[in-house]
Each structure stands twice: as C-alpha cells, then as structure tokens.
Structure 1
Amino acid sequence: MAARIEQVVTSGVFSLDDQDFEVDNNVWLIGDDAEVVVVDPSHDPAAVEQAVAGRRVTAVVCTHGHNDHVNGSVALGAAVGAPVLLNPADRELWDQAHPGVEPGGELVDGQVLTVAGIELHVLATPGHTWGSVSLHAPALSAVFTGDTLFEGGPGATGRSFSDFPTIIASIRDRLLTLPAETVVYTGHGDRTTIGAEAPALPAWIARGH
C-alpha cells in the first residue's frame, strides 16, 4: 500500500477585506488505503469525506487561515475524528471563519507529521498570510504550498495579513531550495515543479507580484 496523492476540487467563495471571489480549490489527500492526511478541505466537507472513503484521517491540515481553505475543516474533522491543525499566526483569520471554535492543534516550522509511513515536514512560508505553511514530502518528491507558490509566481499579496517581500523570501529560502524535480501541489490551479518556477524569481521580484 504505497503512499499516494489524491485530489478533490471544490468550489465556493473566498471573502476578505469586504470582497468576495468565486474560487475553485484543490484539496489534497496524502496517504494509502488505510490512512490519510487531508490538506485544506474547502467548501464541501461532504465531498472530501466521500474521497476519504472510510480511511483513518490522522490530521486535517490548513496551510493558512483564509476562509476558502478552512471553511470545511471543522465539519470534516468532526466527521472523521481528526484534529484540525493551523499555524497560530493565522488565528485571527481562523476566527473570522470559525468564531468561538478552537483549532485542534498547531502547525509550527520544523514539525513533522507522519502518514502511511512517510514524513510531511512543515515549512513556515509566510507572506500570503502571516501563518502560511507548506508541507514537504521528500519520499513523494512533493511539496504542498497552499497559496504561497503557484505555476507562474507567488500567491497574492496586497490584502490584509500579507506582504510581498515576505512571500518572496519564503519562496526563495524555503521552497526554491528544494530539489528541482519536486512537484508543487498548489491551493488553486495546476501543479508545477520547483525546477520550472525557480528561474522566474528575478522577474517576479521586478514585477512586484
């Protein structure tokens, strides 16, 4: 039962700074036929639970606190009996989506989660939000970047709780240092690789987004 990566795409509304945006989100399941970690259950917890298909969920991981990445987490965690993990630096955003509800645990830089015999290394990658994290799975040559790194550039900054120089530093120092063949599993849109994105860093800095 080798570990593998599965994808569920859900649709809904991202709300921040009194603006609403229709979005499609990537939800990632990492594991095998017995157990999984769920990354960023968004919008439709029932669809994510269906994809879990009765397997043990060891953790529900939120890469950051924006509502479109956490709005299905509490319901899914309750349904499957798993803790919902969040970097405490994004607690203010979490509270906007889930007022009065405590996350089930913390995600901190250097933490290691295990599932299906593989390690998921937590990398602090702030910038899109102050508490953004990525998960590096060396055994799968994979990194799950949430909204920090996409095909074609960094995640959005310029709204509340974000900063462009900070996201550039995170990408340069924490992500582009990974092996070039590492596949980047993003929060929205298509996957890419570290090797495909690394040469464009100077252009991103020059354009300022």
Structure 2
Amino acid sequence: MAQSTIEHRETSGTFSLDGGTWDVDNNVWVVGDDQGCVVIDPAHDLDVVADAVGSRTVEKILLTHAHDDHAGLAVEAAGRFGAPIFLHPDEQPLWKLTHSEPAPSFHRLTDGFQLPVGDATLTVIHTPGHSPGSVCFYSQDLEWNGASPVVFSGDTLFQGGPGATGRSYSDFPTIIASITDRLLVLPKDTVVLTGHGDSTTIGAEAPHRQEWIDRGE
C-alpha cells in the first residue's frame, strides 16, 4: 500500500456571521494515498480542491466546524465527489445558518472516533470554543515537510494563539480549556496544520498560553 500523504491548497472567499462579512483565505487539506483520500474543509473553490484530489476517489468530506467559509460548499462537494459529509453534531445550529436542510449522507463525528485514510489514521479530538462542535484531526502516521505527528486544527489553534471567539456560538474560556486539555498535551513536535495562515507546532505555541489568557478574546 502506498504511503498516505498530505496535499495543501489555499482558497479565497468570504466568511459571514452575525451580520458581518470578511475576506478570508482558507487552507484546504487533502489526505490519502494514490487511490483514495479525504478532504478537510473544502472551501470556496471546488476546482482547486479537485486539482488536489486528482484521479483519486474521495472517501469522506471532513469538516472541522460549520462556519460558512469551511462548510458552505460541503453539500456541493459531496455531490461532486460522491462522498459523505462528516461533522460533529453540536455544529447543527451553525450548519442551519448556512444550509436550510441537513447534510445529505451526514455522518456524526465524535470525540475519539478513528478514521482510516490509506495507511494512516485520523483521530477526532473535540475542541469546542470557536464553535460548539469544533474538532481537530490528529495523526501519528502522517508527515508534513518531513515532520510528524500532525494535527489539523481548523480554527481552534493558529500560529499565535486560539481562534476567534467574539461571535455567536463561541466562548473564550472554552477554547482555552480545549487547547490546554486536548491540544497542548500532544507531543511538542506535533505540526499544527491550521484552517487559515501558516502552520506551527504545539511546542511553539504552548509557552504563550498565559499571554492568550491575559489578552482575552
């Protein structure tokens, strides 16, 4: 079996919530071997996503959360790639802000759930705070630029601190608890592959936890 690898693409569009709209650049991650793959947060431009997928079969569409810049094209992606959507059930209130109906072929992500991807495994880590059902995907098997393990953090943890919590369905103490209890306990060399911006590592972010708390949301 061929080794599973990570493909990255950046797409551009908008994020809308609470009456505001902002321009954003999103990271899209495609994980798999030369036969099949999963797509994490297919944002803004499905042609760009399809370029990363190539001729492979898309087995799953994994959503870190349901904000429209991450999940707005999920139903269209499911139809285009013939793949089921996976989302944490606590994201339903946010999903309904963007989609009038439940996701077709909807599968519930739960904490600790393991998703095989080629010869690798992604483990779901529930990290509420940015949104109630935000999740990260951790893998000891995958490498990014020669470094391993990796965690796909969505909008929970970025280079420089936690994701935003100043909008509906978010909470600053909760995201700090999630990062502290669920992410900062990972190996320090874990590469954090984020939903926006540059990657970082758990070891690079951990020393700044008190600064985040002092800074607040």
TM-score (norm 2): 0.94
User: Partners in 2 of 1:97 and 1:47 — Cα distance?
Assistant: 22
Correspondence 1:50-199 to 2 at 5 A: 50-103=51-104, 104-140=106-142, 141-199=149-207
Overall identity of the aligned pairs, in %? 53
**Gap regions ≥5 residues in structure 1:** none
Q: Is the 8 A contact 1:147 1:188 kept in 2?
A: yes
**Equivalent residue, structure 2, for 1:49:** 50
Distance 2:201 2:54 in 1: 29
* Residue pairs, 1:17-32, within 5 angstroms: 17-32=18-33
Aligned residues: 209
Q: How far does residue 50 in structure 1 lie from its aligned partner after superposition? A: 2.4
Give the RMSD, CA atoms, in angstroms. Answer: 0.9
- Report the alpha carbon displacement of residue 199 of structure 1 after superposing the two structures with TM: 0.5
Aligned partners of 1:49 and 1:76 also within 8 Å: no
The whole-number CA distance in structure 1 between the counterparts of 2:194 and 2:173 is 20
Q: Output the amino acid matched with 1:87.
A: H
Paired AA for residue 69 in structure 2:
D
Tell me the equivalent position of 2:146: none
Structure 2: distance between partners of 1:207 and 1:201: 10
- Partner letter of residue 180 of structure 2? R
TM-score normalised by the chain length of structure 1? 0.97
Report if aligned partners of 2:150, 2:191 keep a CA contact under 8 Å in 1.
Answer: yes
User: 209, 212, 216: which is aligned to 1:208?
Assistant: 216
**Structure 2 gap ranges (5+):** 143-148
Residues of 2 paired with 1:153 and 1:101: CA distance? 32
Paired AA for residue 192 in structure 1:
T
1:79 CA displacement: 1.1
CA distance in 2, matches of 1:164, 1:47: 33
